[in-house]
Homo-oligomer: A and B are copies of this chain.
């Protein structure tokens, strides 16, 4: 928190950039910084101009988390943040930087998580200095990370046992979608809690669905990543086949766009394969992680995913060939290596 005088958590929280009292107001009309500077005065005025301003925690200010949290900040909410690396702007100067996730949970009413993987979520929630230790009844945890659906059900249960709400809300759309606030957000949780956080999610995304109970958002995200990976592989096999058979892959793609083969992937990733534009977008290495979630889930649930399992091996091949940091449309490169033939020349 800003200062030891405003609350008891001085030891735990800090403000990265000390505020300058005088100048803040005018300069930051849009971000309403003065509010932060002078809580007793300006703060009140912001609350007046934004009667819905909430105390929101955001843990994980990475490539995705930073722009997502940024939209909440821009909407006038008070943010309490915690992240592994250095705190980026504008959070360093405009948000309350907390030393621990526990502190975030103590200060905020709704706590968002956007961290890499299942163990990270577990640690952030229940590890030392974790969210759970700071929660009080009625607060809500919203996990936007893409993690294991089965673990999510367990995490949700433990948070609910504390008298709090839990919504899993993984997103699709990548960095571009995060910046443009156009993410697809797949939610799991009860309707009441979802209704409470929905206005916040709407600041970050456009296509927001309550799929079902806790964990179902993660299930839906896994389903999304299965389809996306397999549709990429489908387009890849079709174009490699067509190209090596002597046809023009661009014309083939064009001919297929109107029929049953049409898909967003044929449109976007198909074009990438032909134009050789493999700068990410969504990296193969990340999609590998997501397919691993699918396959671990499949093993736990007793589901066979032969196509997903096979596509995951193609991604391994891509990584082995040095393309792990390229866009996932570069999955076609594994097929090209096996056919000893590129879909098109660079």
CA distance A243 to B316 in the complex (A): 16
Does A180 sit at the interface, judged by CB under 8 A?
no
CB pair A231 B233 closer than 8 Å:
no
Determine, out of A41-49, A92-100, A189-197, A290-298, the stretch whose residues face the partner at the interface: A290-298
Determine, out of A58-66, A78-86, A130-138, A205-213, the stretch whose residues face the partner at the interface: A205-213
CA distance A104 to B65 in the complex (A): 46
CA distance A302 to B337 in the complex (A): 11
Residues in chain B near residue A251, CB distance under 8 A: 209-212, 216, 220
Does A255 sit at the interface, judged by CB under 8 A?
yes
Q: Of residues A172, A256, A266, which shows the largest number of chain B Cβ atoms within 10 Å of its Cβ?
A: A256
Instruction: Give A258's nearest chain B residue, CB to CB.
Output: B207
CB pair A246 B227 closer than 8 Å:
no
- Interface positions, chain A 304-319, Cβ under 8 Å from B, are 304-314, 316-317, 319
CB pair B224 A238 closer than 8 Å:
yes
CB pair B265 A260 closer than 8 Å:
yes
CB pair B211 A255 closer than 8 Å:
yes
Determine, out of A23-31, A272-280, A338-346, the stretch whose residues face the partner at the interface: A338-346
CA distance A313 to B240 in the complex (A): 14
Residue-wise interface mask of A (229-270) relative to B, using a CB-CB cutoff of 8 A (1 in contact, 0 not): 111011101111110111110011011101111111110100
Contact A320-B341, Cβ < 8 Å, known A224-B238, A252-B220, A313-B304: yes
CB pair B314 A304 closer than 8 Å:
yes
CB pair A316 B341 closer than 8 Å:
no
CB pair A306 B303 closer than 8 Å:
no
CB pair B302 A313 closer than 8 Å:
no
- Sorted nearest first, the 4 A-B pairs with minimum C-beta distance are A263-B263, A230-B234, A302-B320, A209-B255
